[in-house]
Amino acid sequence: MNKALFALFCLLLSWWWWLSLERIGPVASLTGWTLTGCTLFLAAYQLRKWLSILPLGSAQQWMQLHVWISFMAAFIFFWHTGLRLPDGLFEWALYSCFAATWMSGCLGWIVTTTMPRRLARHGDVIIADEIPVIRRQLQLAADQLALDSVSDTGSTTLAEFYQRRLASFFGKQTHRWVHLTGSRRVHAWLDQEFAQIQRFMAEPEWKNLNQLRELAFAKINTDVQGAGTWLLRRWLFVHIPLTHALIVLIGFHIFWVYLFNAGSI
C-alpha cells in the first residue's frame, strides 16, 4: 500500500515537473536548480567546518571546490538571468544579494591568499589574541620611557612630544584602513615627527628618543598585524550572513516561480 502511494506521489511529482519545465522552460529550470545546488553546496562548507571530525574530505579540498564552484555559480547565474537587469523589488533583492555574496567571497579569497604573506613580510606575525597584550606592553614601555627621560636628562621635550603627538597613537589601534591598503604613510609620518623633534633635542636625549622610535615602529607592526587579522576575521561576518540571506531568498524565489507558473495548473 505504502509502495503504491509512494509510486503515485512520484508520478504526480514527475507530471508537475514536466508541466513546470514546459512553462518555465528547460534552460531556466536546469540553470536555476543547478544554481540552487551550487549555492547549497557552497553554504555547506560552513557545515563541514562544524563536522571536522567526520571524513567528509579535508578542509583544503573543500576550499578548492568552494572556489571553483563559486566561479561556476557566477557563470550559471548570468546564464540563468540572461544578462538582463532584474525586474521588481524581489528580483533586485535576490540579484544584489547574490552579487554581494559572490563579491564578498571573492574579496575574502583574495584577502586570505594575500594578507598572511603581507603580514609575514611586514614584521613579526602576532597572533590575534596577543595583539591587545602587546599593544598594552608597548604603551606602558613608552609611558615609562617618557617619564624616565625627564629624570635622565632634566628635559621635558621628549615627554611633551610623547604626550602631545604619540600618546593617542600608542593607546589604541590606529590607521586600520591605511594599513590595509599597504600604504607606508604612517611610517613616513612617524619618521617626520621624530626628525622634527630631534632638531630640538640635545645629544644626550637622543638615546631615549631612539628607544621611543623603536617602540613606535613596533607599534606600527602591531597595528598592521591588527588590521590584517581584523580583516581576515571580519570579512566572514559579511559573507556568511549574506549567504544565509541568499538561501532564504532563493527559497522564496523557487516557491514563487512554481506558485505562479507550474504550480497554478
Partner 1 sequence: MLNLGPDNNLEFSLYGNALDRRMQEKDVNRILEMAPFSKIDASKFPASKSLQELLEQDARLVTFMPGDIIVRRGDYGTSAFFILRGCVRVVTSPEIEDAALGHTPTPKRTHWQAFKQLWTNHHEPEYRPPFKGSTGHLQTQTRLASDTQEVRAYLSDPKSVIERYATIPIQAGEFFGEIAALTRTPRTATIFAENVCQMIEIRWQGLRDLRRFSTEFRQEIDQIYRERSLKTHLAESSLFKHLDVHQLGQLVDATEFESYGDFDWYPEFRRTDAARHGQQIAKEPLIAQEGDYINDLLLIRAGFARQSIQINEGHRTIGYLGSGDAFGLEELIQSTQTGRAIALKHSLRAVGYVNLLRVPADLIQELVLPRLPSRFHPPKVPDLQTTSQAFDYVESPDRMDEGLLNFIVGGRHNNGTATMLIHLNRCTGCDDCVRACSRAHDGNPRFVRQGPRHQHLMVASACMHCVDPVCMLGCPTGAIHRKEITGDVDINPKTCIGCSNCANNCPYDNIRMVEVTDAHGEPHFDLDTERPRLQATKCDLCSDQVTGPACQYACPHDALKRIDMRQTQSFKNWLQP
202 phi, psi to nearest 5 deg: -80, 160
**Residue 125 contacts partner 1 per CB under 8 A:** yes
Q: Are 156 and 169 a contacting pair, CB within 8 Å? A: no
Smallest distance from the beta carbon of 187 to partner 1, in angstroms? 22
> Could you tell me the smallest distance in angstroms from the CB atom of residue 67 to partner 1?
10
Site for partner 1 in 37-56 (CB under 8 A): 49-55
Q: Are 261 and 20 in contact (CB under 8 A)?
A: yes
Least CB distance to partner 1 at residue 229 (A)? 5
SS3 label, residue 123: coil
Do residues 139 and 146 lie in contact, with contact meaning Cβ atoms separated by under 8 Å? no
Q: How far is the CB of 27 from partner 1 (least distance, A)?
A: 34
Among 127, 140, 188, 254, which residue sits at the site for partner 1 (rule: CB under 8 A)?
127
Q: Does 84 bind partner 1 (CB under 8 A)?
A: no
Specify the residue, 48 or 165, whose C-beta has the smaller distance to partner 1.
48
In 10 A of CB 53, how many CB atoms?
Answer: 6
- Does 112 contact partner 1 by CB under 8 A? yes
* 195 binds partner 1 per the rule CB under 8 A: no
Residue 202 near residue 256, CB atoms below 8 Å: no
- Are the C-beta atoms of 108 and 188 separated by less than 8 Å? no
* Environment class of 94 (CB within 10 Å of its CB; exposed 0-12, middle 13-18, buried 19+): buried
Give min distance, CB of 210 to partner 1, in A: 22
| Position 254 contacts partner 1 (CB under 8 A) | no
Is 115 an interacting residue with respect to partner 1 (CB under 8 A)?
yes
Report if residue 128 touches partner 1, rule: CB under 8 A: yes
Q: Does 187 bind partner 1 (CB under 8 A)?
A: no
Q: In Å, how far are 102, 183, 247, 248 from 244, measured between CA atoms?
A: 13, 34, 5, 6
Instruction: At 85, give phi and psi (nearest 5°).
Output: -75, 150
State the number of binding residues for partner 1 (CB under 8 A). 26
Q: Which residues bind partner 1 (CB under 8 A)?
A: 49-55, 58-60, 62-63, 112-113, 115-117, 119-120, 124-125, 127-128, 229, 232-233
